[in-house]
Amino acid sequence: MPVTPPETSCGQQAQDGGTLALLADCVRRLVDEVLIPAEARLEQEGGVPEDIVCAMREAGLFGLTVPASYGGLGLNRHDEVRIVFELCRASPVYRSLIGTTLGVGGKSLVTAGTDAQKERYLPRIAAGDLIVSFCLTEPDAGSDAASLRTKAEKVDGGYVLNGTKRFIGNAPEAGLFVVMARTDPQSKGADGISAFLVDAGTGGLHVGPPLKKMGQAGAHTADVVFEDCRVSADSLLGGEEGTGFRTAMRVLDDGRIHMAAVSTGLSRRLIDEALAYALDRVQFGKPIAEFQLVQAMLADSEADWLAARSMTEATAKRRDAGENVTREASCCKYFATEALGRIADRAVQIHGGYGYIAEYPVERLYRDARLFRIFEGTSQIQQLVIAREMIRAAR
């Protein structure tokens, strides 16, 4: 069934009205009136249906953080997290479609792209006409990403890429791949890694079939293989070799704050589902919400959610003020994703047997939630970063 997006584009309203509150309100309505009601279609139709993509495009969601000079809304981090809190009350599959665009790949382009690269790609990204994939992980390089082996060999007029990238989000629908590859074969670490902007359809770039996942059905993840894939010299991000990995690390703090916001939004949804069910479900002659052991689960979830939301907003504000927030961003990603795991588990518990049955959204959201503790830096990697920063500051 086709959807009717809220009357005016959210982005347009926000720009006209000049307030974030308007945009947040508009996204809230989009979530409640369009995105949540269409969640069942994500798995049935094997992806986000085109009419929903149009509604998201109309709302300006693809260009949230793209600078206004390139047609985006140019939100700062604090405003971005507030919109993401709202958006991510709906299935995380919707966010996934804009996630690799607004995430490390797109932000690398905003941060380090040449003027020509920005002109070429950012307006289409902001308009929702170009999906970006970020290709870092490899079969033998996951948490230890700096050990990646994909090669970019310099040839006359450009480079030739060879290697395999694993678990690449949005690869089947991407029009642009931001690819980390080693330009200096002598270097084993980060210094020899450069970033390339590779258009879909370039000869030698192959996207594998979508992988079958535990959750987030409708969001596509696939291998991307480069076989003698030739790109021009102006595909080198920022026009400089050896800076790609460092650029990705520079925007990583933003990515961690973003993932914390995503987890906080999904946590809110799970709590709302659990509370509504607890008020409705009657056992021993009263709603289960009146039993104190159920109340304890609700209260623990609410406290987890508020803590995650508060630390994410505070860190985003400090980042906007130009502070180094590496330790805090990892704390946010670590805490908010682990809190989401606890909240999802309690939501299923409050639903009893019905929480285990696919008819209820918490069954699906519980599986969807598991990913956030794994990708964009596992919880263990966040712990290492936090401790490293603490020790560095103390010395």
State yes or no: residue 371 binds ligand FAD (CB under 6 A). Answer: yes
Closest CB to ligand FAD among residues 108, 137 = 137
Closest CB to ligand FAD among residues 225, 288 = 225
Runs of H (alpha helix) within the chain? 10-17, 20-30, 39-44, 50-58, 77-87, 92-102, 104-112, 115-127, 244-250, 252-280, 292-320, 326-351, 361-369, 379-394
Q: How far is the CB of 131 from ligand FAD (least distance, A)?
A: 11
Q: How far is the CB of 180 from ligand FAD (least distance, A)?
A: 8
Q: How far is the CB of 374 from ligand FAD (least distance, A)?
A: 6
Q: Which two tokens stand for residue 372?
A: 């956030």
For residue 346, which amino acid is it?
R
Q: Which among 144, 139, 24, 43 is positioned nearest to 359, based on CA atoms?
A: 43
Q: Could you tell me how many residues of this chain bind ligand FAD (CB under 6 A)? A: 20
Contact (CB, 8 A) for 196 and 181: yes
Question: Rounded distance, CA 299 to CA 291, Å?
Answer: 12
User: Among residues 15, 239, 345, 375, which is the contact residue for ligand FAD, using CB under 6 A?
Assistant: 375
Q: How far is the CB of 46 from ligand FAD (least distance, A)?
A: 16
Q: How far is the CB of 384 from ligand FAD (least distance, A)?
A: 6
Question: Rounded distance, CA 263 to CA 257, Å?
Answer: 10
The residues, ordered by sequence, that sit 6+ positions from 115 with a Cβ below 8 Å of its Cβ are none
State yes or no: residue 378 binds ligand FAD (CB under 6 A). Answer: yes
The residues, ordered by sequence, that sit 6+ positions from 219 with a Cβ below 8 Å of its Cβ are 47, 92, 93, 96, 97, 169, 170, 213
Task: Concatenate the DSSP letters of all residues of 117-166 into one string.
Answer: HHHHHHHHHHHT---EEEE--BTTBSSSGGG---EEEEETTEEEEEEEEE
First to last CA, the chain: 61
Catalytic residue among 80, 138, 273, 376: 376
Residue 286, strand partner residues: 283
Q: Which stretch binds ligand FAD (CB under 6 A): 61-69, 152-160, 357-365, 377-385?
A: 377-385
Each residue 16-35 as x (binds ligand FAD by CB under 6 A) or -, in order, gives: --------------------
State yes or no: residue 380 binds ligand FAD (CB under 6 A). Answer: yes
Q: How far is the CB of 369 from ligand FAD (least distance, A)?
A: 12
Q: Which two tokens stand for residue 93?
A: 């599959």
Q: Which stretch binds ligand FAD (CB under 6 A): 72-80, 87-95, 234-242, 376-384?
A: 376-384
328 as an active site residue: the answer is: no
State yes or no: residue 221 binds ligand FAD (CB under 6 A). Answer: yes
Within residues 96-135, the interface with ligand FAD by CB under 6 A covers: 100, 134-135
- Residue 223 DSSP one-character state: E
Closest chain position to ligand FAD (CB):
142
Each residue 133-172 as x (binds ligand FAD by CB under 6 A) or -, in order, gives: -xxxx----xx-----------------------xxx---
Q: Strand 158-169 and strand 221-232: pairing?
A: antiparallel
Give the active site residues: 376
Binding site for ligand FAD (CB under 6 A): 100, 134-137, 142-143, 167-169, 213, 221, 371, 374-376, 378, 380-381, 384
